[in-house]
Structure 1
């Protein structure tokens, strides 16, 4: 198998609330969003989809125990182009109902901050330090 990630699915407690958050955060046309009774899919590009799925439905579908809130096992990361872009994304997070968990600061890796969506899933937004 050649490793490739085409779909990222996260568990949510409140599908409508999570959909409203990501709808406000992502700049996508209606044609890039699909929904069913138990999920919402954001088609980010031809090869990558981001899906919201009820935690109970994930457990039922996969045969796993019911998941708990948030995603402490991993962090979803978004690479921004500039510090200004990082700050603009953080503003959108707040407007959409998310929470900034660490404020943006410069480190050896770049200018970054962490936030959580309305369901407790953690994200990093980072403008990498330029290398020459």
Structure 2
């Protein structure tokens, strides 16, 4: 069975993005070495989130003859399954305080209680609580 092990996101400012993911979403990250073009954040469950400078990310899109996605274009939605409604609200608040663009308060949806935020580079995150998923 195929399993996702790593998600790679292009970013414009590595230090700013690490601050968002560390302070806003509580993800651990090592300090960025001077001149580094990427950083890997190890997440629970064996998943890895790689933040890579947009200029380096284009090396990979060119391999498959794709154009570069402009900043703010969401090619995917990254979802986080929270343990409670309160956790959804808390993460949205932290993400907003760390520079994310929160799309308003979380609300009940047919698939659960959800809120949305874009990180500093426009990548869309969904924070979702659904008792059937926890």
Note whether the superposition's TM-score is higher than 0.5.
yes
**Partners of 1:77 and 1:99 in 2: how far apart?**
16
Unaligned runs of 5+ in 2: none
3-state DSSP of counterpart to 2:57? helix
Q: CA-to-partner distance for each residue in 1:6-63, whole Å, 9 max, x for gaps?
A: 0100011111111111111243456xx4755100111013621101001110112442
User: Which of 121, 125, 128 is the equivalent residue of 1:126?
Assistant: 128
* TM-aligned CA deviation for residue 110 of structure 1: 1.1
**Partners of 1:109 and 1:61 in 2: how far apart?**
34
Map of 1:2-81 to 2, 5 A cutoff?
Answer: 2-29=1-28, 33=30, 35=32, 37-45=36-44, 47-63=46-62, 64-81=66-83
**Partners of 2:73 and 2:41 in 1: how far apart?**
19
3-state DSSP of counterpart to 2:105? strand
Unaligned runs of 5+ in 1: none
3-state DSSP of counterpart to 1:123? strand
Report the aligned-residue RMSD. 2.2
TM-score (norm 1): 0.84
**Which is richer in strand?**
1
Count of aligned pairs: 128
TM-score (norm 2): 0.83
* TM-aligned CA deviation for residue 102 of structure 1: 4.0
In the superposition, relative to structure 1, how do residues 113 and 55 fare at CA in structure 2: closer, same or farther (>3 Å)? Answer: same
